Structure formats: C-alpha cells, structure tokens
Amino acid sequence: MTTKVYTGASMSLDGYISGPDETGFDKLFTWYGNGDVTVGTTHPELTFRLTGVSAAHWHRTVRETGALVVGRKLFDLTGGWGGDHPMGVPVVVVTHSVPDGWPREGAPFHFVTEGVEKAVALARELAGAQGRHVVVNAGTIARQCLEAGLVDEVGIDLVPVLLGGGTPFFPDLTGAPYELEGPVSVAEGKNVTHLRYRVRYARDV
Amino acid sequence: MTTKVYTGASMSLDGYISGPDETGFDKLFTWYGNGDVTVGTTHPELTFRLTGVSAAHWHRTVRETGALVVGRKLFDLTGGWGGDHPMGVPVVVVTHSVPDGWPREGAPFHFVTEGVEKAVALARELAGAQGRHVVVNAGTIARQCLEAGLVDEVGIDLVPVLLGGGTPFFPDLTGAPYELEGPVSVAEGKNVTHLRYRVRYARDV
C-alpha cells in the first residue's frame, strides 16, 4: 500500500473554512449534529449526531487516517487537544519552535521545525506503519503541501452557506491553476455534500 | 406560476467564476466541450459538445430561462452578443447610462439605469409573460440581487480546479452569512458537478 496524503474540511459555497474573525463554525459544522447516529470520539465529552450518510463518511475518514499534520496555530487554539486528538492518531505539528513542556510522555504529538515536507515525511512513516494515510489540516498547511506537490486527494464537505470572507481552504495559494479529477466520490448528507477530488499535478500528465 | 430569480455559473473549487486577470475560462468551461452531445445555440457558429448529463442540465436551464439580467461590463465585453444572446431570450442590462446606438430595433436588449431591483422587476415581466424564470448573471449583479433579497436559487457548476484568485461568484458580499438549502439537485457531468441551492432569507424562517 502506498501511503497517501489527504486534506479535508467543511467549506462554505464561497470557499471558506472559517468566516470573518473565526465566525461561521455554527453554520459549517451543522452536519456534525443534524442526524440521529451517535458517533463517539476518544474524548468522552465529544460526540457527534450524524446522518447515516455523514456517519459513513466520518467512519471512512477515521478508518483511513493514520496520522495528522497540523499547524502550530491549531495546536495552540485547541490547547493540544488536552494531549489526545479526538481521532486517536499521532499528530505532527509544524512549528517554528517546540512549545514549552512538549513533547510529553505518552502523548502522540510530534514537533517538526523544518517545514511541511519533513512533517509529511514523518507523518507518512507513522501512518504507513498502520497501513493508513496522512491527513493534513486545511488552511495554511494544506496550501503549503499542495504547492509542494504533496497532496493526493482533497475532501470537501460542501456546506450551503455563503460566509462572504474568512479563511479559504488554500489561503494565498500560488502556482495556480491546480487541476483536480473527480469528484471521485459524492455523498449527500443533510446540509452537506461530501466530495472527494484527486489532485493532478503537472508531473502526472 | 411564480416567476423566480435564478443565478448560475461555472465555479472553481475555491469559489471563482474567473481566474486572476480574466484567466481560467479554459478550465472552467471544459465541460462545454468534453461530451458527445452537440447542442446548438441561436448563434450558428456557437455549439457545445456536452455529456448527456450536462446536455440535460443545459436544456433545463434554457427551457426555464425567460429573461437575463446582466451588467454593463459583460454587455460591453461581448459586444452585446452581436445583438442576439445565444439563449435567444430578452436581456436586461443594468447600466449607469444607455450605450450609444441602443436600444436597437428588433434586438431584445433593455437598459435599466435605476439599479438591479428595477432591472429584475422588468425581467420578471418579460420572463413571466412566457411562463419562465429570470436568470441574473453571476458576479456583481448576482451579489447585488442576493443582498437585495431577490435571488431564489443559486446554480453552481462546480469545476475541479483551484484558480487561487479572480472574481468570486458573489464578490464583496455584505450581509453574510446567507444560508441556502440543498443541493436541491445534483447532477454529475464530466469535470463538473451541477448543483442547485435554494436561498433561505431570514424573512422565510
């Protein structure tokens, strides 16, 4: 099995993964709570209520994900997820400097200060050892990975809202246009369409 | 029948209806030429080669459209479509001043200088008389109509390309978030997903 690199996020119809000043999450994440299938995470207090379609999508994502690559901003914002990411997988944090008190015994967080390529390489090892794939966080990290030719598939949970501004899925993207193939899968949830696309880099043509 | 107001366009995954400096149309409009169903327009030299799915989508759009509302920029860019829009329907142009030499005898172009609400009202009359609907052009006109509470449905022909910049479907949108319902229809073409959403204004809730 070749370990692949995926990125995915809930995105508004106008292309934003968060609205102006970090708003809009109530709209973007409606689908995590609008169904009747209860889905647990490694955090006892964090459960979702998904439709059957969205639950299948979620389970597939969890099953495939062997390691995450995230930026320092998200790590700080979530307080390092209290030392344990809800997906229960190793997390590689791209950062300029290792935060105080980290790494910690037993907490599967890794810190890479040499950029996204090194971070993805480490995440590939961690995920590959489990026969799974790497998921990189949408936003700056996904953009850097896309520009570096590292992203194999893009998952978009397309939400019917217009946010009018905020953070794009691939902010400040250079080297465009990037062509994708697909969608290679489409699943219609409630207030969300789960779409997956394959990235086609010039080298593939 | 109530005459409705639609807007629609080919849009990149990052939300643009044209790329930087009016580029990207080759990518956005690939689906107009990647099938084996030949579809004619009122212009003998303009034909499309659509997949069966996209041809059905196109025919539905043509069948439903009774009048178009466009901005002066598009009117000038296309040279007034040589006096006859390819969809063969009346066109209402929103402009600050009526262009020289217009209106012309026999050419179904109307010029409205009092803003989008008046333009849409005129287009409603023209479309309603045929039992059809109004289509407003994506971009500034669609944005103004959305802000004015005039848009009933948004059609997005979602194309798997990232353009990294350009003209958004609803540029400089204010009053967000706008919530939509759906997609009320999804049709999978080749290199395009035809999506339709209903706009849900606060007044409807």
Domain CATH code at residue B169: 3.40.430.10
Report which of residues A128 and B43 the model is more confident about: A128
Picking from B168, B188, B193, the nearest residue to A14 by CB comes out as B168
- Tell me: pLDDT of B86 over 60: yes
Nearest CA distance, B134 vs chain A (angstrom): 21
Residue B143: the pLDDT is 98
pLDDT 10s digits, A129-151: 999 999 999 999 999 999 999 99
Percent of chain B with pLDDT strictly greater than 90: 87
Range of the domain at A48: 5-204
pLDDT 10s digits, A51-97: 999 999 999 999 999 999 999 999 999 999 888 888 889 999 999 99
- Tell me: pLDDT of B74 over 60: yes
* Mean per-residue pLDDT over chain B, rounded: 95
Count structural domains, chain B.
1
How would DSSP label each residue in chain B? ----EEEEEEEETTSEEE-GGG--HHHHTGGGSSSSEEEE-SSTT-EEEE-HHHHHHHHHHHHHEEEEEEEHHHHHHTGGGGGS-TT-S-EEEE-SSPPTT-S-TT--EEEE-S-HHHHHHHHHHHHHTTT-EEEEETTHHHHHHHHTT---EEEEEEESEE--SSEESSTT--S--EEEEEEEEEEE-SS-EEEEEEEE-GGG-
Residue B27 and residue A161: Cβ atoms within 8 Å?
no
Residue A177 and residue B163: Cβ atoms within 8 Å?
yes
Chain B residues touching A175 at Cβ < 8 A: 164
Average of per-residue pLDDT across B135-147: 97
Residue A43: the pLDDT is 82
Q: How large is the ipTM?
A: 0.94
- List residues of chain B with CB under 8 Å from any CB of chain A: 12-16, 19-20, 23-24, 27, 146, 154, 156, 158, 160-165, 168-170, 173-183, 186, 188, 193, 195, 197
CB contacts < 8 A (A, B): 111
Residue A205: the pLDDT is 57
